[in-house]
Amino acid sequence: MVITPFVVLFFFTAFLYAAVGFGGGSTYNALLVMSGADYQLIPIIALTCNLIVVSGNLIQFHKQKLIPWKFTLPIILVSIPAAFFAGRIVISQSQFILVLGWSLLISGLLMMLRENEVQQPSTWLSTKAGIIANLIIGFLLGGLAGLVGIGGGIFFAPLLHLQQSLPTKQIAAFSSVFIFFNSFAGLIGQATKHSQYTGLDNFLDYIWLFIAVFIGGQIGNRLGVSVISAIVVRRLTGALVIYVGIRLLYIFFSN
């Protein structure tokens, strides 16, 4: 792996995703796959980068009192164990490629959607069906986070917009909390699964990527979308993620 170009790419990925309230797990995965990194290390690196980036978002959203804790807590309570236990699941390289390929393709397509500003939330969340539906979604996305290293916010946010569940800024705040706790639980699951995996010795070889996403995330979090349109960010990164998703699925089905 040639580190220098990827340090730059990870910096800009963190900057762009932090500006719109996400961690960047889908793009970190895509870049790591393109670099030829060990598939067993990819989720660990991606989840670590997620944690570093969304930590800054989390602090800012907490200071602004935008986190909808009443909605958030029940969902992360079901997603955390799902992320942890999914992180412990041992899968082959071909299974990883299949799951990650579909995950990247779907998340990329969701990123292409234009999300309308939610001014007046619907009453859907207060209904029994709404509560159960979002708990199930949280559980499933938590599992996905632990398995392949995608925080899940990139999937959940568009669904919340479609439901008109929360004001737009609160959806972004919820996504940061959701990504943070899923990434943390998934990372612990991955680390315990690979306790005998000698490749973990190479983890610190990626230290410059972690430094890059920390700096990029801090800048992006503070500038928000004042420098670049959120729609442009989502569509550019979405195009990359779709490309890598299709490429992975092609590799899987051609073997």
Contact predicate 25/49, CB 8 Å: yes
Structure confidence at residue 2 (pLDDT) = 47
Structure confidence at residue 197 (pLDDT) = 59
pTM: 0.85
Structure confidence at residue 162 (pLDDT) = 77
Tokens in use for 77? 């309570």
Q: State the first-to-last Cα distance of the chain, in angstroms, to the nearest integer.
A: 24
What does the radius of gyration of the chain's CA atoms come to, in whole angstroms? 17
User: Tens of pLDDT along 96-109?
Assistant: 889 989 988 988 88
Rounded CA gap, 185 and 33, in Å? 22
3-state secondary structure of 36: coil
Dihedral sign from CA coordinates of 109, 110, 111, 117: positive
Q: Point out the residues of the chain with pLDDT beneath 70.
A: 1-3, 114-121, 194-201, 224-230, 233
3-state secondary structure of 197: coil
User: Tens of pLDDT along 152-180?
Assistant: 888 888 888 777 778 878 888 898 999 99
